[in-house]
């Protein structure tokens, strides 16, 4: 025990070898790449607009366009602006949809419940709105 203790003092901290640093560096790189590949939400390419229980339109995001939709409460104005979209004006009381602002990434959703209109951004593949495990 005493020998082990004095040995512990003699070797305060193990030294890393050149290959160890290489391994650590490569591992760190792998972790960063994994995060980039699997966690980065992809840019959206399409916009899906739903009105009531039907898909009103699926449009390209790569355009500048203003849409006027009529729901149960009146006219809603939606703006598409080269890769992003937002509710600009809505007749509802809460204005949640308008305050949500611009949507830019695939999987993002803005919903105006009172006027029954929703916007959903689509990427190349469908992403998940939630994950449980």
Partner 1 sequence: MQIQTTPQDHHIARLAALAIGLHMVEAILPSPIPGVKPGIANIVTLFVLYRFDLTTAAWVSLLRVFAASLLLGQFLTPTFMLSLSGALTSLLMLVLASRLPRRWFGPVSLSVLAAFAHIAGQLLVVRLWLIPHVGVAYLVPVFATAALIFGLVNGLVVARLLASHDAAPRS
Q: Which residues bind partner 1 (CB under 8 A)?
A: 3-4, 6-8, 10-11, 13-20, 22-24, 27-28, 30-31, 34-35, 38-39, 128, 131, 133
Q: Which two tokens stand for residue 121?
A: 């951004």
Q: Find the shortest distance in angstroms from Cβ 40 to partner 1.
A: 10
* Beta carbon nearer to partner 1, 4 or 64: 4
Please tell me the distance from the alpha carbon of residue 73 to that of residue 7, in angstroms, as a whole number. Answer: 80
* Beta carbon nearer to partner 1, 26 or 57: 26
Q: 9: which DSSP letter?
A: H
Q: Are 102 and 121 in contact (CB under 8 A)?
A: no
Q: Are 59 and 46 in contact (CB under 8 A)?
A: yes
* Beta carbon nearer to partner 1, 71 or 123: 123
């Amino acid at each position: 025990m005493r020998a082990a203790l004095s040995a512990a003092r003699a070797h305060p901290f193990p030294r890393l070898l050149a290959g160890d640093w290489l391994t650590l560096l490569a591992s760190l790189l792998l972790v960063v790449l994994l995060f980039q590949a699997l966690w980065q939400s992809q840019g959206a390419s399409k916009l899906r607009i739903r009105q009531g229980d039907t898909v009103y339109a699926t449009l390209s995001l790569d355009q500048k366009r203003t849409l006027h939709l009529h729901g149960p409460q009146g006219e809603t104005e939606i703006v598409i602006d080269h890769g992003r979209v937002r509710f600009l004006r809505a007749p509802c009381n809460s204005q949640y949809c308008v305050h949500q602002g611009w949507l830019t990434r695939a999987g993002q959703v803005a919903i105006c419940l009172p006027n029954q209109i929703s916007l959903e951004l689509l990427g190349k593949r469908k992403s998940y709105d939630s994950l449980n495990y």
